[in-house]
Amino acid sequence: MGRIDTLLGDITQVKADAIVNAANCTLLGGGGVDGAIHRAAGPELLAECRTLNGCKTGQAKITKGYRLPAKFVIHTVGPIWRGGGHGERELLVSAYRSSLELAMANGCETVAFPLISSGVYGYPKDQALKVAVDTIGEFLLSHDMTVYLVIFDRAAYTIGGKLFADIAAYIDDRYVDDHTDSGETQRRRMVMASMPMAAAEQAAAAAPSGLDEALSKLDESFSQMLLRKIDECGMTDAQCYKKANIDRKLFSKIRSDVHYKPSKPTAMAFAVALELPLEEAREMLEKAGFAFSHASKFDIIVEYFIAHQNYNIFEINEALFAFDQSLLGG
């Protein structure tokens, strides 16, 4: 509910309420994703499409799924790339929004998208990906739906070259050091990293308003810290779990069980959603029983974004996917 995930594979095999077809204006089939969906759905799909009288760029129409696992196919027409100065971005945003609104109007709770216009229509893949993630993410802030972004091959899923290089250098500076030290140095680092701060030091660091407050924070569970931070940030529960790409049911479990221990990606997702600085993000992870580790590329990538004060969870997930890591959320 209210979350976006990425899948690697064939969109015609996705079991969702609706899959989105990157169609042409005739809606009568074509190459790429369009042709694959028509072949998998069978001739009945083409017969229904003939009754729709085509579709304008940036708009969407819906049909049955026929032989597909999906109940519906939402056909949308993305823009042809002409250099970026002919309203391409606005039309691509409209294609995604029109599809999402049509899915919502037809009671769909799960929808799978291809990367629209990034094939023969020539839209640069990194820019197409950003439009998809931003538009879907914005829609999900006010709607409960699970959206899958289905990538046929990993090469199609790219982040900007400079960002990729910056993250790779950040990983290299930290990850390589931990893996090239002597065994004794690594053991010493692991021991030091596993040693908790003294209670007095924690209290001094966390307590601007007195010892009682500091001691109460020492005993906080993950759930209690999360709810406190939501209040301090002036967010509603829904704003927080949607921004964290977290399922509403999972959030309800965390809220109702003071001793609930989330997964590491879930704990990190909340730290990102709350826009916590790195030290507070570390504290939240500790409450869940984890710590940032420079032996983990996943941890280093998330640390990179927090250190650079970029808290867009969908951009973080783009980078995690590009480096073959699991995604934030839950």
The full set of domain ranges for the chain reads: 3-156, 161-322
Rounded distance, CA 91 to CA 325, Å?
31
What CATH superfamily classification does 3-156 receive? Answer: Leucine Aminopeptidase, subunit E, domain 1 (3.40.220.10)
Length of the chain equals 330
* 91 contacts 102 by C-beta, under 8 angstroms: no
Per-residue pLDDT of 65-83, as tens digits, reads 999 999 999 999 999 999 9
Helix (H) or strand (E) holding 112: strand 110-113
In the residue annotation, 34 being an active-site residue is answered as yes
The pLDDT of residue 281 is 95
**Crossing angle of the two packed helices 125-140 and 88-105, in degrees rounded to 10:** 40
Residue type, 105: A
- Please indicate, yes or no, whether the overall pTM of this predicted structure exceeds 0.85: no
Residue type, 9: G
Which is the catalytic residue, given 10, 17, 34, 247? 34
The pLDDT of residue 153 is 65
The pLDDT of residue 246 is 86
DSSP character for 216? H
Q: Show Cβ contacts of residue 172 under 8 Å, excluding neighbours closer than 6 positions.
A: none
The pLDDT of residue 228 is 95
| Residues of the chain scoring pLDDT < 70 | 1-2, 153-161, 176-218, 330
